[in-house]
Amino acid sequence: MVNRKSGVPAFRQVATDLREKIAAGQYAPGDQLPSEREMVETYGVSRPTIREAVDMLRAEGLVTSEHGRGVFVRPPASIQRIARSRLSREARGRNRGAFLADAAARGFTPSTSVKIRFEEADSRTATHLAVSEGAELTVRDRVMRADGLVVQIAVSRLPRELTRDTAIEQVDTGKGGAYARREEAGHTLGSFIEHVGARMPTPDEASLLQLADGVPVMTVTRVAYGEDGTPLEMNDMVLAADRYELSYEWPAD
C-alpha cells in the first residue's frame, strides 16, 4: 500500500518498493513480477499508475516485459570483454578485425558485409582527420553479424586522396585488410587513439542491435595515425553496452 500523504508520487513509491525487492533478491533474476492487475490490489492504485512504475524500472534496464507473458527481472547479460590497444601489426594480420575473432570465440558464425560510398567531411570528421570541412572522403560501411544477427556497425572514413586507385575503394581489400593496403602505399601506422562515449540508442540502432529498453550504447571512434602523426583513418563503432566491455592497457611509465 502506498503512503498517500508522503508527498512522494504513488508510482515512485511502487517503483522504489519493487526496486528494493529486486535488489534484496526477493525477485531474483529471471523471476516474474506479480501481474499488473495483482499489483493494483497490492498497492491500492490504478493500473496506469502501476504501469508508470514498471516503465521506470524498464528504462533503468532492471526488468523487461513480454507481451502476454509477464514482467521479468532482467538477468545480468554476459558481457564480452574486448581488449583494445592490441592492434599490433601481427594481430592485424591474424584477426580480420577484433569482432570477428570475438564471434568465433563465442561459437557464432560471423559474417560481414561492406558497402563503399563517398561523402564530404562534416566538422567532427574534419577535425579528427585534419582535413578541411567538405573534403572528399571514402567511406566503408561495415555491418557485422553473428549467426545472421546484427552485432555491430562500423563506419570507416578516410581522406579520398589516400585511397584513390587503391584496393581500399574496393569491397574486398584483399589479404591483410585495409591496413595492409595502406602500409603498402607507404602509410605506415604509427599510433591509434580511441574516443569512448555512451548515449541512448536511436530507435534505428535499438531495433538493429535488438536492444532491450534501458540499454545504452557505447560509441567508439578510433583514429589511426601515420608515423609522422598524419591521421589516416577514422572508424566509428556502436556497441550494445550490455554485451561489451572495453579494456585498455598501458605501461605506468
Q: Site residues (CB under 7 A) for DNA? A: 9-12, 33, 35-38, 44-49, 51-52, 54, 65-71
Minimum distance of DNA from residue 11's CB (angstroms): 4
Amino acid present at 72: F
Residue 157, all three cell numbers: 572514413
Sequence-separated (6 or more) residues with CB below 8 Å from residue 36 = 47, 50, 51, 54, 71
Nearer to DNA by Cβ, of 71 and 121: the residue is: 71
The β-bridge relationship of strands 189-199 and 149-159 is unpaired
CA distance 139 to 61: 34
Nearer to its own copies by Cβ, of 92 and 140: the residue is: 92
- Say which entry of DNA, its own copies, none residue 59 contacts (CB below 5 to 8 A, set by partner kind): its own copies
Residue 245 CB-half CA count within 13 A? 6
Does residue 217 contact residue 210 with C-beta atoms inside 8 Å? no
Minimum distance of DNA from residue 19's CB (angstroms): 15
- Say which entry of its own copies, DNA, none residue 47 contacts (CB below 5 to 8 A, set by partner kind): DNA
Minimum distance of its own copies from residue 79's CB (angstroms): 7
Nearer to DNA by Cβ, of 56 and 232: the residue is: 56
Minimum distance of its own copies from residue 253's CB (angstroms): 6
